[in-house]
Amino acid sequence: MTDASDERPDQVGLETVAEIARRLAEAPGLDELLHRIVVLAHEYLEGCDGVSLMLIGRGGRISTPAYSSEVAHDSDLAQFETNQGPCLESIREHHTVVIDDLESDERWPAYRERVAAFGVRSMLGVRLFVQGDTMGALNFYSSRPRGLGERSLLLAQVFSSHAAVALKAAISEAGMQAALETRDVIGQAKGVLMARVGLTADDAFARLRELSQQRNQPVRELAEEIAVTGAVPDAHGR
């Protein structure tokens, strides 16, 4: 098997770029777009074990409204709690951050100590921006040292560019805070479903939508109920 670090950047073809743009553009709304960004990014990057999306809200508040795995979510929380880490640096310093091996990298010691327990070994933090306006960052995690090579880095940057354009089109400045608050509670509910029922992030999101339709209850309201109670309701409201 070829190591990710041996892959050539020019292996990222125009067909892949076009497919990424098309699949992101097909998202029917903001909620679906945020979810689709992390799921597709996880799908396209070889060696990737989780993707999270950090967004900047009103007052500069940074949150993680979407993630593809519990490891990605927990790793982001560790950055928020220690106020340090590669993805926060990517947002604050406006550049891409690469960690080839977390065990030998000496930056962000408090953060590194926490995520070592999650099995994270290599990472990419790629800024989301449109015309200089930083919206947040996409964060890619791997359980292998040097698990995200040159091809993955290039593809992550291409993907992030398309994701930023799609997000800019989907979010009005006035609606940003409400959208992030909705995604925060949906993310919490997904975490409950993933832990209690053993679902993937994708399946947890699908279960939320299914329950919402069966109960004739808005997704945000249902997610808030699950996040507060920590219980998984059935289709009949119990």
Is the predicted pLDDT of residue 163 greater than 90, yes or no? yes
List, in sequence order, every beta strand (DSSP E) within 74-168: 97-99, 122-130, 133-142
Which structure tokens are listed for 24? 């992101």
Place of tokens 């791997």: 142
Higher pLDDT, 162 or 130: 162
Is the predicted pLDDT of residue 93 greater than 50, yes or no? yes
Compute the average pLDDT of residues 86-95. 92
* Residues whose CB falls within 8 Å of the CB of residue 211, separated by 6 or more in sequence, listed in order: 217, 222, 233, 235
How many H helices and E strands in the chain?
Answer: 9, 5
In the chain the domains, ranked by start, together with CATH numbers, are 4-171 (3.30.450.40), 180-229 (1.10.10.10)
Rounded Cα distance between 182 and 204, Å, is: 16
The DSSP 8-state label assigned to residue 55 in this structure reads: E
Least confident of 13-17, 121-125, 161-165: 13-17
pLDDT band at 138 (very low <50, low <70, confident <90, very high): very high
